[in-house]
Amino acid sequence: MVTRRVRFPPTFLTQLNTITMENKDALPSWLINNLAVKFSEVLHDWLTEDEMKEVTNDELITDVDDFCDANMAMDAAWNQMFILEMDLSSDADIDLWNSAWSLAVSKKFNITK
């Protein structure tokens, strides 16, 4: 599968933060989806096929963190998409991170664009 790297300019996150400060529901769904896709791709790269099966099996309670640091996987996905590091003081960054995380989990890390 060929994936395209989306690199946003440094001003993008500042603009996004301004938008979401005014309207918390303003995070674009395509942006959440793209980050969730990247996060899922990173996990598929980092984990073996058997580990991914355990993580996505409904009958087992296996956390991604049993196999890797999932926050580091999301951070890797973030850095593939954005030039700037995640700003922990930014509501927009945190909302985007959490929304993408939730979407990826809800799709059992089998999410496509």
Q: What is the pLDDT of residues 16-35, one digit of tens each?
A: 555 544 555 567 888 999 99
Judge whether 111 and 44 are in contact, CB under 8 Å: no
Instruction: Calculate the average pLDDT of the chain.
Output: 80
Q: Which of the pair, 28 or 38, is modelled with greater confidence?
A: 38
Comparing CA positions, the residue from 92, 80, 70 lying closest to residue 20 is 92
